Amino acid sequence: MKLYLAVAVLMLAFVAYTEAQDQVEEHTIEQRFSNFGEQVAEVGKNLAEKAKTTFEEIQSSKFATDSRDWFQRQIDSLKAKLA
């Protein structure tokens, strides 16, 4: 849910930024939609990069590594008992 709020706030910020720039320079409607589309694409790309980086950091964290190792030891122990 926090992700949706963050995206909504970013969209509002970009709309405000776009409107502020439109007041300085006159653009056609086509140029406004084109600029808005580019900004949305850039926000999406940045958000995807940040999510990927965060996921990789979590996956390589000490807690995650220790947990995987513990589960692997438990599975190996269970296999040894059953064999």
Assess whether pLDDT exceeds 90 at residue 83: no
Mean pLDDT in the chain? Answer: 83
When pLDDT is averaged across residues 2-12 and rounded to a whole number, the result is 74
Assess whether pLDDT exceeds 70 at residue 22: no
Which of 24 and 60 is assigned the larger pLDDT?
Answer: 60
The residues spanned by each domain of the chain are 2-82
pLDDT of residue 26: 60
pLDDT of residue 66: 92
Looking at the chain, the whole-number percentage of residues with pLDDT higher than 70 is 86
Angle at 36 between CA 41 and CA 10, to 5 degrees: 70
